[in-house]
Structure 1
Amino acid sequence: MLRTPNQNAEDEEPASPPAEQLTVWPKALRLAKELRPPLTMLGIFLRETNPGERLTTSQCLVLSQLSGADSLPMSELAAADNKVLSTMTELVGRLVAAGYVTKDNGVEDRRQVRVSITDSGRTALAATLLLRTELLASRIDGLTGTEQSALEAALPALWKLAAIDPTIWPRVVRQPLPRRRTGKTLRANEPSGSEVAPSAGRKESRKIQTQAVRGRESR
């Protein structure tokens, strides 16, 4: 599809998946198209529901994680929210300034930064979750009995779809994201530090990147 001079890239229709993919999971693609709009709008509705002091989605997730533990390492909080450590450090810093969490060095490893929720943080989180739950309940109450039963039956699938284990919630366990490389702008298609094996040294990393560049130039 050609782009008009005043048309942004965001306005373009997304490219259709390859034909071979469509033959493998046509039902999943159809369900995804049907689920995306209501799930997106429900997410927006819940995120915009805040009593008094506004908590962002990421702030709520951090406080929820901490509400189920005495303290957690900064790295685990970052992994749970799919954020790099530097971004989570800034987010936690704002929560510290608001009085919702505290930071301390680990007991066994003094280099480790551990975060704990304060009483003020628990109060702010509880108020936000209570309001969101009540408003969502009012919408569910507007469904028929059959619709409510269907929604209840879908709960296990929704937990699985969100990749969350309900037995350990509010904890969310994910693998940490690789650290971002700084001080260098990567060329297109050039391997980033996350694509290099953790055990490889800088010399090996440069060697892999040089080979990738030469491979592109020879095409």
Structure 2
Amino acid sequence: MANDSMQDLAALALGLLDFIPRLQRRVHADVLATHENQQDEIWQDFSEIQATPGQLSLLRILVKCKRCSMQELAEYAVVAPSTATAMVKRLLAQGYVERSRGVEDWRTVWVQPTARGEQVIAMFDHVRLATLQRRLQQLSDDERERIVAALPALQHLTEVEM
């Protein structure tokens, strides 16, 4: 590959690595700003979990999977088992998840979301989607079309085996 091509590829990689977390932080901040204006009881319950996007991500995994072992949860969240354990303990204390021991093997710890945890994720994701839609409305039609055109390539990027 030519040197200019390698530099372009490096610039693209750095741009994506910088952009993605920045977008996530911006949307998360917008959601929290929306939260401050809400009086709903679920939003009031949400006040403790708002500080840790990692916990939201973990809870979202549990809502999607319905139930995970601690080992599976750590793998899905791409964190160390001790980190997953600490996050689950905080979510457990807040009533967002339940833990149980395996029937066949008592050493296996299963975690599943509570109804309250599912409600918080549903509400957070609803507001997160609305927030991003409002941001997208601020773009020109051409900018939105270019993002839409890039989505298949970005999706493929997440599926490429290394």
Normalised by the shorter chain, which TM-score bucket?
0.7 to 0.9
Letter in 2 for 1:149: E
Q: Which one has a larger percent helix, Structure 1 or Structure 2?
A: 2
TM-score (normalizing by structure 2):
0.77
TM-score (normalizing by structure 1):
0.59
Query: For each residue in 1:50-99, what CA deviation from the matched residue of structure 2 results, as whole angstroms up to 9, or x when unmatched?
Result: 33421522111111111122311111111122211111111100000000
CA–CA distance in structure 1, aligned partners of residues 13 and 153 of structure 2: 13
Residues 14-53 of structure 1 mapped to structure 2, 5 A cutoff: 25-48=6-29, 49-50=31-32, 51=35, 52=43, 53=47
Q: Retained in 1: the 8 A contact 2:61–2:77?
A: no
Residues 123-142 of structure 1 mapped to structure 2, 5 A cutoff: 123-142=119-138
Q: Identity of counterpart residues, as a percentage?
A: 30
Pair 1:69 & 2:50 matched = no
Pairs aligned (count): 145
Name which of structure 1's ranges 119-128 and 20-29 shifts more when overlaid on structure 2.
20-29
CA RMSD of aligned residues (A): 2.5
Q: CA deviation at 1:164?
A: 6.1
Residues 174-189 of structure 1 mapped to structure 2, 5 A cutoff: none
Query: For each residue in 1:29-56, what CA deviation from the matched residue of structure 2 results, as whole angstroms up to 9, or x when unmatched?
Result: 1212443443342121123233342152
Change (3 A) 1:142 1:80: same
Residues 154-173 of structure 1 mapped to structure 2, 5 A cutoff: 154-161=150-157, 163=158
Which consecutive segments of 4 or more residues in structure 1 shift more than 4 A? 20-24
Letter in 2 for 1:120: R
Change (3 A) 1:22 1:41: same
Query: For each residue in 1:142-174, what CA deviation from the matched residue of structure 2 results, as whole angstroms up to 9, or x when unmatched?
Result: 22222212111212232344x369xxxxxxxxx
